[in-house]
Amino acid sequence: MLFSGASEEAIGEMLAPWGQGAGRAEMLVQAALASGDAALLERVVPAWRWRILLAILDCLYFDWDPRFQPYLDYGLACHADDPLALPVAVRTALAEGQLYAGERPAALALLSTMGDAGGGDGDALRAFAHLQEGGWPAAQAGFEAALKRLRTESRQRTGLMPPSLAPCYPLSLLAQRTPAHLEQARKFCQAEAGTRSPVPTERWGLWCHVLAVHKGDARLDEAAFELAPDVPPLAQFWRVLLRAWLGDVKQASGRRQPAAARAEAIAALHARLQGCGLHWFAQQLDAARALETDEPVPQTFFAGQRQESWRLALEALQALAGEARAPDGASASRLLWALTIDADGAVGTIEPLEQQRGPRGWNKPRPVPLARLAEDDPQCARPRRWTASCPPAAARTPRPCARSPCCAKARSACA
The per-residue pLDDT string of the chain (415 residues; one tens digit each, 9 = 90 and over) reads 678 778 888 888 888 887 777 788 888 999 899 988 999 999 999 999 999 999 999 999 999 999 999 999 999 999 999 999 999 999 999 999 999 999 999 999 999 999 899 999 999 999 999 999 999 999 999 999 999 999 999 999 999 999 999 999 999 999 999 999 999 999 999 999 999 999 999 999 999 999 999 998 999 999 999 999 999 999 999 999 999 999 988 778 889 999 999 999 999 999 999 999 999 999 999 999 999 888 999 999 999 765 544 555 565 565 555 443 434 444 577 888 888 877 766 777 888 888 887 776 778 888 888 766 666 544 444 433 333 333 333 333 333 333 333 333 333 333 3
Q: Under DSSP, is residue 253 helix (H, G, I), strand (E, B) or coil?
A: strand
Give the Cα separation of 352 and 339 in Å (integer): 9
Angle (CA) 8 62 41, round 5° = 30
What is the reported pLDDT for 102? Answer: 97
| Position 356 in a domain | yes
Let me know: does 160 contact 154? Beta carbons within 8 Å: yes
**Could you list the residue range(s) of the whole structural domain that residue 362 is in?**
333-414
Give the Cα separation of 58 and 93 in Å (integer): 8
Kindly report the backbone phi and psi dihedral angles of residue 361, in degrees, each rounded to the nearest multiple of 5, phi listed first: 105, -160
Per-residue burial over 12-24, b = 16 or more CB atoms within 10 Å of its CB, e = otherwise: eeebeeeeeeeeb
HSE-up of residue 409 (Cα within 13 Å, Cβ side)? 4
| Position 181 in a domain | no
* Among 304, 305, 308, CA closest to 391: 308
Q: CA distances (Å), 280 to each of 68, 238, 274, 286, 288, in order? A: 17, 13, 9, 10, 13
End-to-end CA distance of the chain: 63
Give the Cα separation of 123 and 232 in Å (integer): 27
What is the reported pLDDT for 384? Answer: 33
What is the reported pLDDT for 394? Answer: 37
| Position 383 in a domain | yes
| Position 364 in a domain | yes
List residues bridging with 221 in a β-sheet: 253
Give the Cα separation of 231 and 261 in Å (integer): 14
Kindly report the backbone phi and psi dihedral angles of residue 65, in degrees, each rounded to the nearest multiple of 5, phi listed first: -100, 120
Give the Cα separation of 188 and 202 in Å (integer): 15
* Among 202, 128, 191, 208, CA closest to 165: 128
Let me know: does 352 contact 368? Beta carbons within 8 Å: yes
Give the Cα separation of 191 and 354 in Å (integer): 40
* Among 128, 204, 227, 111, CA closest to 172: 128
Q: How many structural domains does the chain have?
A: 1
| Position 391 in a domain | yes
In which element (H, E) is residue 335 found? strand 333-341
| Position 220 in a domain | no
| Position 151 in a domain | no
Angle (CA) 300 302 304, round 5° = 80
Do β-strands 333-341 and 361-362 pair in parallel, antiparallel, or remain unpaired?
unpaired
| Position 360 in a domain | yes
